[in-house]
Amino acid sequence: MVKVYSPPEGMETALLESHGGTLVLCHIQPGASRTELSGWHGAPPRLKIRIHAPPQEGQANEELRRFLAEILGVKFSAVEIKRGEKSRQKDVWVPLPLEEVLGRLANKRSGLSNPRDDL
């Protein structure tokens, strides 16, 4: 069962509770100058993550998994790309409760505005 959580600041569709963990809905920008959280993309909003690695031979996917593992405090092997291996739109599963993912992202995204403001 998938349960949508409604956190503050309009992030309601970027995180979904799923199968004992959380799906983080992302839009990836590979080939960036550095890897970082950078805002919101689209409607409904997805978390935009700039990735330094190029989109070749899975390099950007690997760096995305490594980056999310680091900021969420989980093992690299626990982060799974469930959908979008060859797309900029990716659904990434992490083995943490949704509320915990939200809290850890909130600590890392201090400069991000409300997704509704970026639309």
Per-residue pLDDT of the chain (119 residues; tens, 9 = 90+): 444 434 445 555 788 888 889 999 999 999 999 999 988 888 778 899 999 999 999 999 999 999 999 999 999 999 999 999 999 999 999 999 998 998 888 776 544 444 433 33
- Confirm if 36 and 50 have CB atoms less than 8 A apart: yes
Cα dist from 110 to 10, 16, 47, 83, whole Å: 15, 21, 13, 27
Domain boundary assignment for the chain: 2-118
**Does this model's pTM top 0.85?**
no
**Cis-peptide into 97, omega within 30 deg:** no
> What class is the 2-118 domain?
alpha beta
Distance, in Å, from the CA atom of 76 to the CA atom of 67, rounded to the nearest integer, reads: 9
Task: State the Cα–Cα distance between residues 109 and 105, nearest whole angstrom.
Answer: 6
